[in-house]
Amino acid sequence: MRKIGVLTSGGDSPGMNAAIRAVVRKAIYHDVEVFGIYNGYQGLIDGNIQQMDIGSVGDIIQRGGTILYTARSDEFRTEEGREKAIQQLNKFGIEGLIVIGGDGSFRGAEKLTQKGYPCIGVPGTIDNDIPGTDFTIGFDTALNTVIEAIDKIRDTATSHERTYVVEVMGRHAGDIALWAGLADGAESILIPEHADEFEDVIERLKRGKDRGKKHSIIVLAEGVGSGMEFGQRIKDATKLETRVTVLGHTQRGGSPTASDRVLASRLGAKAVDLLLAGQAGRVVGIQNNKLVDHDILEILDEKHVVDFEMYQLSKQLSI
Ligand code: ADP
């Protein structure tokens, strides 16, 4: 394989740049030409493609977002759209592709692999919802953004003796909420995997109120529902003064943490190794601090599971 491409697709996450840098430099190290595809699969269809050199990825390891931009492409979901994408791959002589993104992006990668254009997926999403890896690129940074915000909210919650519902991202996964809740000593955590525990949250708040506790933090994963709605329900049920903060897209930005930069560098380089070794349709990951790779179809079939022990621990520590 002499020419490969790299793109970022779907939701962005801090550390994607570090992954792009690793892909480009590792490929060049092995005398392979690398092409950056801008705006995800839509850019591939449109031929928005440029050759990358060592300098083109300089000074980006510390930057959030993605220098290749990202997009969602409905056209790529169609057979005709993918044919156009393949024409561009042929035009540039790109033989294999590294796709940095989430599960949606991996579905696209699987389709290209089936057509004879080997793809390797690199899990880049703040949600930590990709099976086959303990961590996804961007999760640690998002988590740190969340705990910094909650620390600040706790100061004012304590001063004013209020209950705060903090809505965090994570799509259908509760990882950000669970880890942030544990790291912040939140009084309660509500995650989609255990969404039926709302009554338990109310009971805990009431017990706390009876003990004279006047401030609480409840971390709510967006997959459970809207913070505003839950804030109102909590207020109605407990009569506690309740405020809601929706952290929103601040969680997607910022300079990646050291952990995310290292993870992105390792996973990006591993993806190049696989492609050059003739592998196709794999997703790289990290499990017990060892680099691993799995069949892309297995990853798409599996469901991400939240750590139940950690969930129980968070409850035990927040009585
Ligand atoms: P993420 O990768 O973050 O999960 P999306 O689910 O939005 O993000 O997927 C990103 C892009 O991947 C989509 O806009 C689309 O172009 C492509 N994609 C997703 N699912 C498919 C599919 N089933 N077939 C082909 N392409 C897909």
Q: What average pLDDT does this structure show over 23-48?
A: 98
For residue 218, report the distance from its CA to the centre of ligand 1, in Å: 32
pLDDT one-digit tens code per residue, 96-121:
999 999 999 999 999 999 999 999 99
The tens digit of pLDDT for each residue in 173-194 reads: 999 999 999 999 999 999 999 9
Q: Is the pLDDT of residue 158 over 80?
A: yes
The pTM (predicted TM-score) of the whole model is 0.97
pLDDT of 215 strictly over 80? yes
Lowest mean pLDDT segment, chosen from 43-52, 204-213, 215-224, 293-302: 204-213
Q: Considering only CA atoms, which of 29, 66, 68, 64 is closest in space to residue 50?
A: 68
Once rounded to an integer, what is the mean pLDDT over residues 31-45?
98
User: Residues with Cβ < 8 Å from 275, sequence gap 6 or more?
Assistant: 1, 4, 96, 98, 118, 120
For range 51-61, the mean pLDDT: 98
Tell me which residue has its CA closest to atom 7 in ligand 1.
10
User: In angstroms, rounded to a whole number, what is the distance separating the alpha carbons of residues 244 and 161?
Assistant: 14
- What is the pLDDT averaged over residues 155-184? 96
Q: How many residues does the chain have?
A: 319
Q: What is the per-residue pLDDT for 318?
A: 87
Q: Which CATH architecture has domain 139-253?
A: 3-Layer(aba) Sandwich (3.40)
Buried b / exposed e along 68-101 (16+ C-beta atoms within 10 A)? bbbbebeebeeeebbeebbebbeebebbbbbbbb
Residue 213 has pLDDT above 90, yes or no: no
Q: Is the pLDDT of residue 280 over 80?
A: yes
The correct CATH number of 3-138+256-301 out of 3.40.50.450, 3.30.420.40, 1.20.1560.10, 3.40.50.300 is: 3.40.50.450
Of 157-166, 174-183, 244-253, the poorest mean pLDDT is in 157-166
pLDDT of 55 reads: 97
Cβ of 41 below 6 Å from ligand 1 = yes
pLDDT at 292 > cutoff 80: yes
Question: Ligand 1 pocket check: which of 72, 74, 115, 125 to mutate, most ligand atoms within 8 Å of Cβ?
Answer: 72
Residues 142-148, mean pLDDT to the nearest whole number:
98
Is there a shared CATH topology between the 3-138+256-301 domain and the 139-253 domain? yes
From CA 17, how far away is CA 115, in angstroms rounded? 28
pLDDT value of position 214: 80
**Is residue 319 pLDDT above 80, yes or no?**
no
Q: What is d(CA 226, CA 289) in angstroms, rounded to the nearest whole number? A: 35
| pLDDT over 90 at 88, yes or no | yes
Q: Work out the average pLDDT over 160-172.
A: 96
The structure tokens 């005398």 sit at: 31
Listed by start position, the domains of the chain span 3-138+256-301, 139-253
What pLDDT is recorded for position 297?
A: 98
Is the CB of residue 181 below 6 angstroms from any atom belonging to ligand 1? Answer: no
